[in-house]
Structures are given as C-alpha cells and as structure tokens.
C-alpha cells in the first residue's frame, strides 16, 4: 500500500515549550525546550503513516533556503517517505507553536507562504497526473500558498478519482466550497483551527455541526468528521450521525499535530476496513493517543489500541 500526500504549503515547524508563557517578557530556552521539524499538514500525515509502515510520496510546492531544510529533515525521517515537489523561486514558510503546560494553552503562529506563479501550478498539475497512479490513496491536506486557486483540491480529486483512488481532504471552508464545485473526496475532515465555519456559516450548536455535515454528504462525500468543542467529534455518513467523546481529560497544550494524526490513522485503517465508523473511531483513538505526548510525534500502534478504552461512541441519529 502507498499514499500520495499533497502538501501545497509545506513549512518548517518550530515548537517552543514555555511554561507560564507571557507576552512582553524575555523567555530563554534550553535545547530541550525547542524543536524543529518538517511540517505542513500533509507532511505530518506522511510522517505518521511512515511510522505505521506505509510508503508515502509527498508532493506540492517547495523553495528557497527553508525549503531545502524541510526536504533534508523530511528525508531523515524514514526511507518509506519519498518526495516529488515542484521547486519554486519563493521561500517556503515557517510556523511557530508555543506549548504551555502550566496554563494548558497552545498558541500557533503560521506564515502565509510564498506566491506560486501560474506556470508552476500547471507544472504541478501535470506532475500529479503522472504520479497519482503509483498510489492507492491520496491525502490532500492543509492551506494553500498565495496564487494557488481554492478549487485546486477539486481539480486534483477529479484526476485521482479517474484513476480509482480513495481521496481524503482536510482544509478550511473557502477551499472546500470552491473545490466541491468540481469534485468531492471520499472522506472530509474540515479544518476548524481558525474559524468554525462551513458554507460561510459559523457553527455554534451541535445541530449546526450535524446540519453542515449532512449538507456535505449531499455532494457525494462518504463520511464527514467534524471536530466539536476541541476534543469531541461528530461523524456524519449517509447512514447516520455519531458522537465521539473522551472518557479522560485531554491535555489541550498537546494538541499540535492531532488533526494530522487523526487523518493518517483513518488512511491507515481504510486499507484494513471499509467500515466508515470503524475508520473514524481509529482516527479518534489515534488523535487521543497523540495527546499523551507533548511533542509532534506519532503515537505508537499499541497506544492507539489502548486509547480505544478511553472514549465512547454514541449514535445520535
């Protein structure tokens, strides 16, 4: 089994562990209090999948000095990860995460990324068409650099579906809306980190989330997984609606990378099961297990199995 992981806006991730973090104050960090790693949502997915023994091809746009560091660090992670990026003149971005285990807070500062010219976008679409046949599933995840149209998720999915591939998305509302006009994925996990919005409407109540999930299903998506109140999830399929709830306290300062772990685990499970609810449960268990680690590292498979005892699933419709 092999996965094509599309990361159009990769990043160099910097994690700073600062307890009792305060603004307008100098914080000096020891070596153990900071970490640097290749990032971008789809790159994080690839790293997690490699830890589960899954071969992954990572593609997208990359460039500049930071881009070279991202490539170098990514290639160190695993021999199961290969890269096939389109190199651009712009500089790959950097992201910063501040983890405070005293106040249980997690602060992200993400750069927008470079501007990608139209000729590089055309080059990328041609390259994607050539390499998609070598994968069994396609993950398209994360933000877009400047210049890349919001509909590109749909363009890539249309190509992938013609090759008979399962497609997974995780991204924000405006990209979802524009891309669904062209094609729909098999499984969608909206990215609610910044705004809890779908179809331009803010989601507030549980009913808002369920209604939005049902609306997405009408586009032909098989399953929608919606993060609700940070550590709860709502799962919507054509057959019903389920609520996933933790039975233990979740350390909110350890949330970095949990969404990507969720996605990677669902992709991994889809190679072993066609049951959509089982796929969602496995993703939730993996994300819960990820919160046991403060660093952006994949949970072990045995951690995921253990996490099944620490949440419950309830059918609500």
Render pLDDT for 193-203 as a digit per residue (tens, 0 to 9). 889 999 999 99
Question: How high is the pLDDT of residue 231?
Answer: 85
Cα 209 from Cα 183, distance rounded (Å): 22
The answer to the question of residue 274 being in a domain is: no
Query: Domain span at residue 161?
Result: 2-228
The answer to the question of residue 312 being in a domain is: no
Q: Report the CATH number at residue 90.
A: 3.40.1190.20
Looking at residues 193-218, what average pLDDT do you find? 96
Question: How high is the pLDDT of residue 253?
Answer: 77
Cα 116 from Cα 280, distance rounded (Å): 34
Which element (helix H / strand E) includes 69? helix 64-77
Question: How high is the pLDDT of residue 256?
Answer: 80
Q: What end-to-end distance do the CA atoms of the chain give, in Å?
A: 34
Q: Could you tell me if 108 and 95 are in contact, meaning their C-beta atoms sit under 8 angstroms apart?
A: yes
pLDDT tens digits, 56-89: 999 999 999 999 999 999 999 999 999 999 999 9
The answer to the question of residue 244 being in a domain is: no
Looking at residues 120-134, what average pLDDT do you find? 98
Question: How high is the pLDDT of residue 265?
Answer: 98
**β-sheet with 93-100: strand ranges across:** 34-39, 11-17, 93-100, 105-110
Looking at residues 210-222, what average pLDDT do you find? 98
Statement: residue 217 has pLDDT above 90: yes
Name the pTM for this structure: 0.93
Cα 29 from Cα 17, distance rounded (Å): 8
Residues whose CB falls within 8 Å of the CB of residue 241, separated by 6 or more in sequence, listed in order: 210, 213, 214, 234, 235, 315, 316, 317
Distance of CA 157 to the CA centre of its chain: 16
Question: How high is the pLDDT of residue 24?
Answer: 92
Statement: residue 101 has pLDDT above 90: no
Statement: residue 308 has pLDDT above 90: yes
DSSP type of residue 115: B
The answer to the question of residue 276 being in a domain is: no
Statement: residue 113 has pLDDT above 90: yes
Query: For the chain, what is the domain count?
Result: 1
The answer to the question of residue 279 being in a domain is: no
Stretch among 18-32, 110-124, 125-139, 176-190 having the lowest mean pLDDT: 18-32
Question: How high is the pLDDT of residue 176?
Answer: 98
């Amino acid at each position: 089994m092999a996965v094509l992981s599309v990361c159009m806006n990769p990043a160099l991730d910097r994690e700073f562990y600062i307890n009792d973090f305060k603004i307008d104050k100098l914080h000096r960090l020891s070596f153990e209090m900071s970490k640097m790693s290749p990032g971008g949502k789809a790159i994080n997915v690839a790293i997690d999948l490699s830890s589960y023994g899954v071969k992954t091809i990572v593609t997208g746009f990359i460039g500049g000095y930071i881009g070279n560091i991202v490539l170098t660090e990514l290639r160190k992670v695993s021999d199961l990860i290969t890269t096939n990026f389109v190199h651009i003149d712009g500089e790959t971005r950097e992201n910063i995460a501040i983890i405070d285990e005293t106040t249980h807070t997690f602060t992200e500062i993400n750069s927008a990324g470079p501007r990608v010219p139209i000729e590089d976008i055309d080059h990328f679409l041609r390259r994607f068409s050539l390499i998609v046949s070598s994968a069994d599933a396609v993950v398209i995840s994360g933000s877009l650099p400047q210049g890349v149209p919001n509909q590109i998720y749909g363009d890539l999915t249309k190509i992938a579906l013609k090759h008979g591939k399962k497609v997974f998305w995780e991204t924000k509302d405006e990209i979802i809306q524009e891309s669904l006009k062209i094609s729909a994925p098999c499984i969608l996990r909206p990215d609610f980190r910044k705004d809890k919005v779908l179809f331009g409407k803010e989601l507030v109540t549980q009913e808002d989330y369920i209604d939005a999930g049902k609306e997405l299903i009408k586009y032909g998506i098989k399953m929608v997984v919606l993060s609700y109140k940070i550590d709860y999830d709502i799962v919507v399929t054509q057959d019903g609606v389920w609520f996933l709830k933790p039975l233990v306290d979740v350390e909110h300062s350890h949330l970095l990378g949990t969404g990507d772990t969720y996605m990677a685990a669902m992709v991994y499970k889809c190679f072993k099961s066609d049951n959509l609810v089982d796929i969602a449960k496995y993703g939730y268990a993996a994300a819960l297990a990820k919160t046991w680690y403060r660093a952006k590292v994949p949970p072990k498979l045995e951690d995921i199995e253990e996490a099944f005892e620490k949440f419950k699933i309830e059918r609500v419709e």
